[in-house]
Amino acid sequence: MSFRPSAEMRHRGIGEVGYGIRDTWIDPAEAVFEMAPTILEKVNTRVTELVELHEHDTQDLYAILEDAQDGRTRISQQVAMDSQRVDLLMGDRMTLQETVWIVEEEAYAA
């Protein structure tokens, strides 16, 4: 049994590396054509997944922004109502103060 590579093996890029193990040369130019469709399919799948994730995240953000806007609107409405109450209380306070002065004047006059 000969461990010397044959002419066909040398032509195909297969060489003996010792201990009966053969080193097979894979031509990168040929491998690219075999690998490209698989790689492209994986890239397309990943891009599709990322697009779906981006759309989902965008919808989540819009929902959060809408909730925040609703919250701001409610707060703004509450502030407006509180301002009206404060204005009414200030008016009541001034009326009460005038009433106190009138009562005190009448008390001193009597």
- Residues above pLDDT 70, as percent of the chain: 75
Could you tell me if residue 64 is inside a domain? yes
If one counts the domains in the chain, the total is 1
Which domain, by its residues, includes 35?
7-109
For residue 23, name the pLDDT band (cuts at 50, 70, 90): low
What is the model's pLDDT at position 4? 54
What is the model's pLDDT at position 22? 60
**Per-residue pLDDT for 10 more than 60?**
no
- Residues above pLDDT 90, as percent of the chain: 58
Could you tell me if residue 2 is inside a domain? no
Could you tell me if residue 70 is inside a domain? yes
CA count, 13 A, side-chain hemisphere, 86? 6
**Per-residue pLDDT for 1 more than 70?**
no
Q: How many angstroms separate the Cα of 103 from the Cα of each of 89, 98, 100? A: 21, 9, 5
**37 compared with 64, residue with greater pLDDT:** 64
**45 compared with 1, residue with greater pLDDT:** 45
What is the model's pLDDT at position 63? 95
Q: Which whole number is the average pLDDT over 83-103?
A: 94
